[in-house]
Amino acid sequence: MDESARDRPVFRTVTDRLGQPDSRRLIPTPALVCDLDVLTDNIARMAALTASSRIAIRPHVKSHKSAFVARRQLDAGAVGLSCAKLAEAEMIVRRLIADGYERRISVLLTSPLVGAVAAERVLALSGFCDPIVVVDNLEGVDELASAFGGAENGLGVLCDVDVGFARTGVVGPSQALQVVERIEQDPHLHFGGVQGYGGHLQHIRGREERRSSTMESTRRLEEVVNALESRGHNVPLRTGGGTGTSALDVEIGLLNELQPGSYVFMDREYRDALGGDPEGWFGQSLTVATTVISANQDGFVTVDAGLKAMATDAGSPLVVGHEATASYHFFGDEHGLVTNGPDGPFRRGDRLDLVPPHCDPTVDRYDFMWLVRDDVVMGVADVVARGCSQ
């Protein structure tokens, strides 16, 4: 966190009361709040799921962008971290090292990189962690080969495979073979396996429909793996998956490494999609705290969390404890509207907790999150990779 944030009087009002009863009500709103016990339980649940199936877990940093959470995932058995962007990896790894994490971290960059500058940044990153990159293009392989031409250590490279999302990845075995053969031609690049991420699968409602779609995506990846192996290429790593398909990926069995992210927090979008399915057994640890600032109208009140307080791509948040009786509506950049339920009207000064519609981009709007246990603030965690989209 920027040191100037720690100097704000309103921040010190809370930090001076860490560990004291009823300190949670002092948090200035709108604020990002994380329940420590639920977070810890979520991390343990996913670690147990993968460990019992002898599948590695490499959780995605893009959901939390926090060295605090990443450290707990690594301590729970994660083989490394997944990062969507280079800047994300740079910030998280540097912060972990600064905080005293001593193991050398394996970091998978899950988006293809473009250009010599990006390749040089990977080379620099390799000075303090073990990066693995994905490629889906021959030029991308050549850019990495050029950057690592004089490096002491080589670079692990995966072939990114389109499994039906069509966002990135080679399309079919023929393109995969071309990319892998180019990787293996360079002595400084080491082909490590394939990535097949089905982002389009994660929020499909209904487990049978989600299973059917996941099996189809897995078939696409398996076709590539079989083609590569039939040509003599070893494919040791098969990484992908996410929160919404986690248990299904374990059941299907092709992937030997999972990259879930949102499971640490969860959100309204996942709650709606997963319901009581096995993939939805993670608790809601993340909320946005808000305060009623005006209660002069009949039927609704105005709160201080608006468009700037959370991502809006997945609809509206839920009002915790009033999910069935009150509804939230965006009311401008700085404000929200919450309807009054049959239990009586909300009053000026009431504090409400909202389940964010989509956790990942909501977290990216905050410098830090408050760590709580019941009504007690236990600490604060910096969102160190906030805005790191480069």
**Identity at 48, one-letter amino acid code:** A
Question: pTM of this prediction?
Answer: 0.95
- CA-based torsion, 260, 263, 269, 274: positive or negative: positive
Q: What is the pLDDT of residue 151?
A: 86
DSSP symbol at 278:
G
Strands 56-57 and 257-258: parallel
Give the count of alpha carbons within 13 A of 303, CB side only.
Answer: 31
| DSSP-derived secondary structure for 279-319 | GG-S---EEEEEEEEE--SSSEEEES--GGGS--TT-PPEE
The full length of the chain comes to: 390
| CA pair distance 224, 214, nearest whole angstrom | 16
Q: What is the pLDDT of residue 130?
A: 98
Q: What is the pLDDT of residue 4?
A: 54
Q: What angle in degrees, to the nearest 10, is found between the helix axes of 67-75 and 86-98?
A: 70
Strands 106-109 and 81-83: parallel
Instruction: Return per-residue pLDDT of the chain as tens, 390 residues.
Output: 555 566 677 788 898 999 999 999 999 999 999 999 999 999 999 999 999 999 999 999 999 999 999 999 999 999 999 999 999 999 999 999 999 999 999 999 999 999 999 999 999 999 999 999 999 999 999 999 999 998 888 999 999 999 999 999 999 999 999 999 999 999 999 999 999 999 999 999 999 999 999 999 999 999 999 999 999 999 999 999 999 999 999 999 999 999 999 999 999 999 999 999 999 999 999 999 999 999 999 999 999 999 999 999 999 999 999 999 999 999 999 999 999 988 779 999 999 999 999 999 999 999 999 999 999 999 999 999 999 999
Tell how many helices (H) and how many strands (E) occur in the chain.
12, 17
Please check whether residue 305 is in contact with residue 29, taking contact to mean a CB–CB distance below 8 angstroms: yes
Instruction: Give the torsion through C-alpha atoms of 339, 344, 346, 352, to 10 deg.
Output: -80
Within the chain, residue ranges assigned H as helices are: 3-6, 9-15, 36-52, 67-75, 86-98, 116-125, 138-147, 173-185, 207-230, 246-252, 268-274, 359-363
Q: What is the pLDDT of residue 43?
A: 98
Instruction: Give the torsion through C-alpha atoms of 347, 353, 355, 358, to 10 deg.
Output: 100
Q: What is the pLDDT of residue 334?
A: 98
Q: What is the pLDDT of residue 152?
A: 84
Please check whether residue 329 is in contact with residue 343, taking contact to mean a CB–CB distance below 8 angstroms: no
Cα separations (Å) of 197 from 59, 68, 167, 211? 13, 25, 10, 15
Please check whether residue 381 is in contact with residue 368, taking contact to mean a CB–CB distance below 8 angstroms: yes
Please check whether residue 31 is in contact with residue 288, taking contact to mean a CB–CB distance below 8 angstroms: yes
**Identity at 261, one-letter amino acid code:** G
Element (H, E) at 31: strand 31-35
Q: What is the pLDDT of residue 3?
A: 57
Q: What is the pLDDT of residue 328?
A: 98
What backbone torsions phi and psi does residue 358 show, to the nearest 5 degrees? Answer: -140, 115
Which domains does the chain carry?
Answer: 3-34+282-382 (2.40.37.20), 37-265 (3.20.20.10)
**Identity at 120, one-letter amino acid code:** E
Q: What is the pLDDT of residue 67?
A: 98
Nearest to residue 373, comparing CAs of 21, 97, 60, 54?
A: 21
